Chains A and B, each alone.
Chain A
Amino acid sequence: MPLPLAAPRTRSRFRRVLAPALPIALLLLLGLAGTAFGDAFSPESGGSPQADDIDRLYWFVMVVAIVVFLGVEGALFYSLFKFKARRGTVAAQIRGNTRLEIGWTVGAAVILVVLAILTFIYLPGIRTPPNSGPNGLQLADRVLVAAGPTKQLPPNGKALNICVNGQQYVWRYTYAQNCENAPLNAPFSYEIMYVPTDTTVTLDIDAQDVAHSWWIPKLGGKFDAVPGYSNNTWLKIPGDLAGQTFRGQCAELCGRNHANMTARVRALSPQDFEAWLDNQRRAIQQANQAAQRQRQRVERGQQPGG
């Protein structure tokens, strides 16, 4: 059934080259723009050891990915240009090649085994916190609450614990070793978390209302705050970063003002941290007492504030 098809227009060599060159040039341009912006190619890091480990693991994977990418796209573009239909060319009627196909199946599997091994090499450093450093906050010599299914403790079992609670649309931090029975007068803060440097800090993360997700990019990965569950992570900010603030925000859709549920972690030297904690404890106590006096006045039938 011969069919009348539009005769192929003769295209100049210029156009033949231009058509594929355009997207390639565009990709290159975007790539260059990316390098100009610096750290556009990997997750943020620098605030805590596991963020650095994730970054290193990421770059190993990236190298493998670039090799695979160039190989596949190279073969694709090569066959498109080399085997473009031309007068007199005939397509080879090849139906397969078992050896070649087994070869690339095994090849793909080997690459993934390598990636899995790399992941398992980095995993302990990312999941398990190290001990606090010598210049860290000196913690009492006692073991914390037991490690849970998601909670990892440093080898010596000593870490400062902070309870992180997500609420629409703010983070609340309670500075207590045991989050389930935190003392009622435990110091707390909202939005800004204060942590001592060179100290291993474990976080117990939960949520008050809907699900939220705790994420400070420079300090490592994100961990969901789900009502009814306790999630865990840790951080250990190097001593020379005291005074720095690390920014992040809620990463799980939690309602209309999800975009405004920001979080900051301010690194303080252990001395400054203890001073801040004492100050906070005192301030909260004073506020509580003031509120108590207010209540008593209301109960006695006086005007509030009067």
Chain B
Amino acid sequence: MATQQITAPAPVPQVVAHEIERERTGWTSWVTTTDHKRIGIMYLVLTFVFFLLGGTEALLIRLQLSQANNTLLDPQTYNQLITMHGTTMVFLFVVPVMAGFGNYFLPLMIGARDMAFPKLNALSFWLLAAGGLVFYASIFFSPPECGWTCYPPLSSKDYLPSGGVDAWIYLIHLTGVSSLVGAINFYVTIANMRAPGMGWGRLPLFVWALLIYAVLLILALPPVAAGVTLLLTDRHFGTSFYDPALGGSPLLYQHLFWFFGHPEVYIMVLPGFGIISEVLPVFARKPIFGYKAVAASTVVIAFLSLLVWAHHMFTTPSPGFVFVFFMMASFLIAVPTGVKIFNWVATLWRGTVEFKTALLFAVGFLGTFVMGGITGIFLAIFPIDWQLHDTYFVVAHFHYVLMGGAVFAVFSGVYYWFPKITGRLMSEGLGKISFWLMLIGFHVTFLIQHSMGMDGMPRRIFEYADVGHLQTYNLISTIGSFILGLGILVTMINAVRSVKRGVIAGPDPWKANTLEWFTSSPPPVNNFDTIPRIRSVEPMKDIRRQVERQMGREWQEPAPAPESSVQA
């Protein structure tokens, strides 16, 4: 053991970082900042504002559907709302919120003082803000009504001549460039700025996830940028890439969109996986089970995610061979995903699980995501997909992986990292109320939607007839959505309240494993004065052990057990 070689005269490691330069305040300091932590905070605040906007849109959608033949919203408004909701959640919340956590914690976790390109980092935030602004400005004119996928011919100028679709295209470009710039920044930072001793085998799993997130963004964004640019030139400059009457093909758009769209699913969920891989070991007081398998499965999922896009197109006019290929590729992706889930459960196994709110959300993620994964298998089997495609079954499936999956992971991350960002703990009591409301609300909303889909209810319909049990199912779902919304509101209140009134956290409230906890909370501008040498995947555990030993106390955390003892 490396720690045993440390001799007595070595100085006791401690948080020695202090402020070199007086921190600037005022709104101009935020607008002009290139500090990764301030940019991270701006990312998190802005994306949560969009999350609340998207959530409000969702509640309006659910209100409209609570009754058969409801007349609360007209069809035009309804289509605008589903487009705004989907686009907001994907492009303005889940993807950038991960970039927010990444911005704040990536340099801290690898022992760097900032990102590799701080100015590009600021650029990617302001491009995101501009994208959101352009898109939401359309509510004063005519928001797009083509769904978040905006398939032509519906999105062509013949059918939707208004500027809403153009605002949507502009959003894809701006947030796309934002993500691309951010992704390159992440990649370069991880590749070059790791603390001494932090080899690839000692990289925190959240950083592994961010690395793969960055690679996937770099690979997947150019095709969709091309796809929507062709749509733009079709709309305004007389080209006919997607117009079958002039030799174009609407299916070309679908291929370009989903070549991006499926990796996008993993872009949204892989950093969530990373958060779970950080939170579970901390609160189970156990190392992650199978570090290499968890890191490797991230890479395998990312590779396979580039080969499954046409499973979104099983009902299109395409040859059977294509369906078989994409079915088998989609099956394959279940193997590394399953490996991750098994490793997470094994991480809890024989641990001492502390039920803090961050752990509850992580476990809520785990239990919910399993269900989303299983319904994904149904959808991967293309004859079954012929029945389920574009119904509420699919709506339920992707909310299980993105809401119950990615968003629960984000909430776990919020409760876990809030003390580091603000220096104060969030209320555990409110956190647990929020968790149970969200978990129950989520399942009441979305479990029943599987049945709606199998009862024949397609997605994106503004009204339905009172046939079968659709009326009852939809009412249950709407009630659930308000419970879920209340749960989210409780966490928002908790966060706002805790910024000023939370219990002072100190540098390492959870006794965590990774390097961000080796700074004061909040960290000083330059993060670290001295960057410790990394000797394992859990540097903070090493540091705590060293501190205890040098202060002459008995080391409290247990010694490693032999590997074979897992069967006991």
Contacts and interface: CB of A to CB of B under 8 A. Distances in A.
Interface string A175-197: 00000000000000000000000
Interface stretch (A156-164, A218-226, A269-277, A289-297): A218-226
Contacts of A4: 506
Contacts of A108: 334-335, 338-339
A23 B159 contact: no
Nearest to B74: A256
Name the residue in B317, B440, B506 with the highest tally of chain A Cβ atoms < 10 Å from its Cβ. B317
Interface residues of A, number: 98
Given A224-B315, A228-B249, A94 B153 contact: no
A112 B351 CA distance: 31
A84 interface: yes
Contact of A97 (B331, B378, B566): B566
B137 to A, nearest CB: 22
Contacts of A89: 352
Given A72-B370, A75-B345, A41 B561 contact: no
B196 interface: no
A46 interface: no
Interface in A105-157: 105, 108-109, 112, 115-116, 119, 122-123, 126-127, 149-150
A204 B153 CA distance: 20
Contacts, number: 315
Interface stretch (A234-242, A243-251, A280-288): A243-251
A contacts with B: majority SS: mixed
Contacts of B529: none
A222 B319 CA distance: 15
A90 B316 contact: no
Nearest to B374: A65
Given A76-B367, A83-B352, A101-B343, A27 B443 contact: yes
Nearest to A109: B335
B461 A258 contact: yes
Contacts of A30: 443-444, 447-448
A85 B374 contact: no
Name the residue in B436, B469, B508 with the highest tally of chain A Cβ atoms < 10 Å from its Cβ. B469
Given A43-B387, A259-B464, A253 B146 contact: yes
B284 A91 contact: yes
Interface in B326-343: 327-328, 331-332, 334-335, 338-339, 341-343
Given A85-B285, A96-B290, A54 B352 contact: no
B560 interface: yes
A174 B374 CA distance: 41
Which of the four size classes fits the interface of chain B?
A: 35 or more
A168 to B, nearest CB: 8
Nearest to B244: A228
A92 interface: yes
A83 B334 contact: no
A104 interface: yes
A231 B378 CA distance: 23
Nearest to B452: A40
B251 interface: yes
B386 A54 contact: yes
Interface in B420-437: 428, 436
B154 interface: yes
A27 B560 CA distance: 39
B387 A222 contact: yes
Contact of B506 (A1, A150, A217): A1
Given A79-B348, A95-B287, A3 B558 contact: no
Contact of A83 (B292, B353, B564): B353
A123 B383 contact: yes
A124 to B, nearest CB: 11
Given A30-B443, A54-B384, A221 B428 contact: no
A255 interface: yes
Interface in B224-266: 244-245, 248-251
Given A79-B349, A91-B352, A97-B563, 20 more contacts: A30-B443, A43-B384, A43-B388, A58-B384, A76-B348, A79-B348, A80-B348, A83-B349, A94-B563, A95-B289, A100-B567, A105-B293, A109-B335, A112-B334, A209-B153, A221-B383, A222-B387, A247-B467, A252-B151, A259-B464
4 shortest interchain CB distances as A-B pairs: A221-B386, A228-B244, A259-B461, A43-B387
